[in-house]
Structure 1
Amino acid sequence: MAAEDKARSPCVSICALDERDMCIGCQRTGDEILRWTSMTNCERKAVLVKVAEREQMVAL
């Protein structure tokens, strides 16, 4: 797999979990953050879709 095809972490170095166990910086759950390095690229892309959905909810 080419490096440009690999899903990049959404981490923005603002690491703090809220009361819902959601990072206020990257919108991943604590579990998603912990498992990120062991996820397949397909799993990572699925998390990124969820992150985008969560960001839309925060923006409302």
Structure 2
Amino acid sequence: MVKSPCVRNCCLDQQDCCLGCGRLLSEITEWHQASSARQQQICVLAAARQAQRDAQLSQHLWASPSE
């Protein structure tokens, strides 16, 4: 069994993606029934979503204000 990526900071965005762990709502609800391989896949996908969100936020913070 794979350790859940849940960080107990649950809040879903408009795409039903948890801002805390990066999992989609469907992945959160399937977690306990998923095989270890599927849980690992969910973790990889969630990490990729978190990295993408962090990159977008960083880009937004460093963007010069439009005039």
> What TM-score do the two structures reach when normalised by structure 1?
0.85
Q: How many residues align?
A: 55
Identity of aligned residues (%): 33
Deviations 1:24-49 (A, max 9, x none): 11110000000000000000000011
Deviations 1:4-33 (A, max 9, x none): xx3110000011111110011111000000
Query: Which has the greater radius of gyration?
Result: 2
> What TM-score do the two structures reach when normalised by structure 2?
0.77
Gaps of 5+ in 2: 56-67
Moved over 2 A (4+): none
RMSD (Å) for aligned C-alpha atoms: 0.8
